[in-house]
Structure 1
């Protein structure tokens, strides 16, 4: 792995057409039963190959074994009824039909551990595995049992910790918790959201990260972004508390966003995954565009703590566009890396 500016992805990569509908977020599987199990592993291997070809340093499963970044995990838990659905407001942004919590939630078996073990067998590179964060899980369900977002989040935090510990034992090097809800519910984040996240990551022997983005490039998210004004300062409300947490890394959205880069100073000391690829655009960035974002970030974070990444997941993008963006990420990081090593040599 590159010592400076190791590259990674924040989330999903496009699935092959034989597994799911192309360019469709959260598409239903096109296979079933044993064919699906084998197909997901084949897709995982293909995703790893494409990351290797692009020169990605820290690889992931690209969410090839998941239909949805939150509910696929929840599907395997007790206490949630997927037949009993209610319409709720997701991220205070759009309405969606979601499953209901009808009883105490619990985890009776591992969810992603076999997939992680399979990926570990395919590569010697560091592996980053994403799990939904407790607050985002709560915000993706209708709670008809606990009647308290905080209580449900703490229950999910304990379950996530069980899963994360087994993922580490299976060979995962970085556990990333996806918390897009952190960009919306600021009072809850500071009151109990970060504490619940620390519970989910307690005692892990791997590195831990939290991914806080502005969402996929879907209409509801792009419309919301347009309403946020000339500067997106949501991170400012939560970074001070997050800086005091025991999380190792923070993954944030930067390229083509209106996030003031100097907000990174609020999490000084943390490793920062800087989103240098815009997943809401089908235009493939040039290496110089990526490098420009990284150089800007280096004004506020030390080089040994900067990890170039994507803004969010790329599942809805055409595969050739996603491949191009991954290559641009690696090429842009290589440009800045060469500048850094050249400066050191001088």
Structure 2
């Protein structure tokens, strides 16, 4: 049995303002000095690793500081991209015109890397050409880890799933979705293996496995969406075949934005498909008020005996700092649902800045929330595991 409940998070952390501006310019298609962006990212990573340790995070990452977003950084690492993609709106936001107007007004003039504008499409054969960039990212992260005192217990890097890439970078080339997903799986497999070969845990970011229900599948039957999820999980398993599943975790969410979320697909409808992924851990959000109850799904659709649940117990969209007792209670409830607190980790619902500048939580509040998570995990560890 684990000595205590460990803490991690889901990936992106707020970037310094100057670095955010560079990412926003690059996302708009502007030319920026490559050396300037690289130096700013390197300094940000060196700072953010020890800050995670100081906040009580056991399994840390590089905060995705060098990436403009959790997925669109791949525009520089894949061939075959060109043209333009058009993302549909979210069904829940479109259903509330007054709210949508407020969202548009709040975003106006904000310096961010957009996730909906200037999106490329797949116009040719997709292949991975990011080996040097991935090696540099891993080396930069390793240097920050080696310098951190005290050292963290572990480290992870994230990479997007074939499904979210296919949803954002739409197919204009392949004869079928299956063929496109297979090509993406083969391309992304290079990045997945590089992360593992560098000694890190791999996190697969798969918001598509929930989000696309109220986006690209918003006007189609549930069965069509579940079939899409099955095709994506098949592609994921193709990409990670032969890799150590115990060092791979998979993150699913319904979109990292503040909104009604009343068009979200229930976890019960997709969990059996998600659990077909050959990974060692699942990272799911249980702090936000739309999905906080869905840990109960694991009572009837359980994890495999060797799998871990990283439970989101911190909301990444509000500036409320959760009380440690609230975090502890959330962990205790979730532990009862999975049946074994030794296979539970504490995490965040999603990233705090999934596209540069898009985060809703102030930088200083982010660190307070992470400290609260660590303290809450300590309290829950005492109650569930007898840890001091």
TM range (shorter): 0.7 to 0.9
Q: Distance in 1 between matches of 2:384 and 2:230?
A: 40
Residues 126-275 of structure 1 aligned to structure 2 (within 5 Å): 126-172=154-200, 174-183=201-210, 184-185=212-213, 186-205=225-244, 207-218=247-258, 222-223=259-260, 225=261, 227-228=262-263, 234-259=266-291, 260-265=294-299, 266-269=301-304, 270-275=307-312
Count of residue pairs the alignment pairs up: 329
Aligned to 2:88: 89
- Aligned equivalent of 1:320, options 350, 358, 364: 364
Structure with greater proportional strand content:
1
Q: Distance in 1 between matches of 2:3 and 2:158?
A: 23
Aligned to 1:27: 24
Q: What is the CA distance between 1:108 and its match in structure 2?
A: 2.4
Alpha carbon RMSD of aligned pairs, Å? 2.4
Cα 1:189/1:329, change in 2 over 3 Å = farther
Per-residue deviation, residues 160-194 of structure 1 (Å, max 9, x unmatched): 1111112212221x111111110134323443111
Q: Distance in 1 between matches of 2:327 and 2:33?
A: 39
Q: Distance in 2 between matches of 1:143 and 1:192?
A: 15
Structure with the larger RCO, 1 or 2 (CA within 8 Å, 6+ apart)? 2
Q: What is the CA distance between 1:252 and its match in structure 2?
A: 0.6
TM-score w.r.t. the length of structure 1 is 0.88
Cα 1:238/1:45, change in 2 over 3 Å = same
Q: What is the CA distance between 1:11 and its match in structure 2?
A: 1.9
Cα 1:320/1:139, change in 2 over 3 Å = same
Structure 1: gaps (5+ residues): none
Q: What is the CA distance between 1:60 and its match in structure 2?
A: 0.7
- Look up the SS of the partner of 1:276 in the other structure: strand
